Amino acid sequence: MSARQDNYPLGPDYWDVNQAATRLTAFACTVSARHLSHGMERMQFNREIAYFSKRIMDDVATQRLTPEEGLKALKAEQASLLNQAQKLALPIAGLVGGISQVATGAGACVKRRMLCTFFGAPLLAHGANNLYENGNQIGAQRSDVVGPVRRGYQQAAKKFGYSERDGNLLYYTVDLGLSGYGVFFRKELKPGAWRLFEYHNIDKMRGFRMMGKPTLLLEGAVSAATLYQWIKEYSRK
């Protein structure tokens, strides 16, 4: 315990409540900056969280709440904000990922028929499904949207004696596998590569070596969102 906590007028327990309230207010500012584009909405949201934090601190100071109850209320509010932020972020990441998958899949199909069969076409299907699901989640404010491709996985799983959950897990696994193949294993022509007849391996580079840092970070964020959905589905009973 620091000297500052010992010397705090209302004691070290109130200091802990004060720090939790500060963290909640800072977290609210981060969430609003990411998800609320309108300035007045951001200000109103931040003001409401600040008032909530101050009310909890006042209730603890006047002993209407114990420090433990105050901490519990502040942590519960922060957990609620985190949950809401995740619900907003996942569809956006899925939408961006879907656009990238469609573009990559279409490009693969244009280049080689074999590549289109085992990589381009499946990636196009997954990308279109992600656009459908996440676009509807954002537009219709629904979290239960199931696209035709994922529904196909569910029906296939049931046909072989497995559950709908197993179909979802397979869908997310294939989604991650396709994205991973595109980034780490698929080779693209180097910028400026030119041959009169045939290109060789020396003329090609793996996808991640040709991506800039922003693109790699975006791919990582989208894959992390898919992995989160896989873990969430796996944990579902």
Specify whether 61 is located in the same domain as 116.
no
Specify whether 165 is located in the same domain as 99.
yes
Segment 111-121, tens digit of pLDDT:
778 878 888 89
Of 65, 95, 116, the one marking the end of a domain is 65
The encoded tokens of residue 137 equal 């989640």
Query: For 2, what's the count of Cα atoms within 13 Å in the CB-facing half-sphere?
Result: 5
Q: Can you give the pLDDT at residue 176?
A: 92
CA distance 24 to 79: 10
Specify whether 182 is located in the same domain as 100.
yes
State the pLDDT confidence band at 69, using cuts at 50, 70 and 90: very high
Segment 174-200, tens digit of pLDDT:
999 998 887 765 655 445 444 544 544
Report the run of H or E that residue 37 belongs to, with start and end.
none
CA distance 195 to 201: 12
11 touches 65 (CB < 8 A) = no
Specify whether 130 is located in the same domain as 167.
yes
Alpha helices (H) along the chain: 3-6, 12-35, 39-61, 67-111, 113-115, 121-140, 148-159, 164-180, 207-210, 213-235
229 touches 90 (CB < 8 A) = yes
Specify whether 48 is located in the same domain as 116.
no
The total number of structural domains that make up the chain = 2
CA distance 108 to 127: 13
Specify whether 55 is located in the same domain as 94.
no
Specify whether 97 is located in the same domain as 61.
no
Give pTM, 2 decimals: 0.66
Of 65, 94, 119, the one marking the end of a domain is 65
DSSP 95-108: HHHHHHHHHHHHHH
Is position 44 within any domain? yes
Segment 12-65, tens digit of pLDDT:
778 889 999 999 999 889 888 877 777 788 888 889 999 999 999 999 988 899
Which structural domain range is residue 214 located in? 86-235
Q: Which residues contact 59 (CB under 8 A, 6 or more apart)?
A: 65, 70
Specify whether 126 is located in the same domain as 222.
yes
Specify whether 44 is located in the same domain as 91.
no
Specify whether 61 is located in the same domain as 95.
no
Q: Which residue pairs, CB below 8 angstroms and at least 24 apart, start in 144-150?
A: 149/125
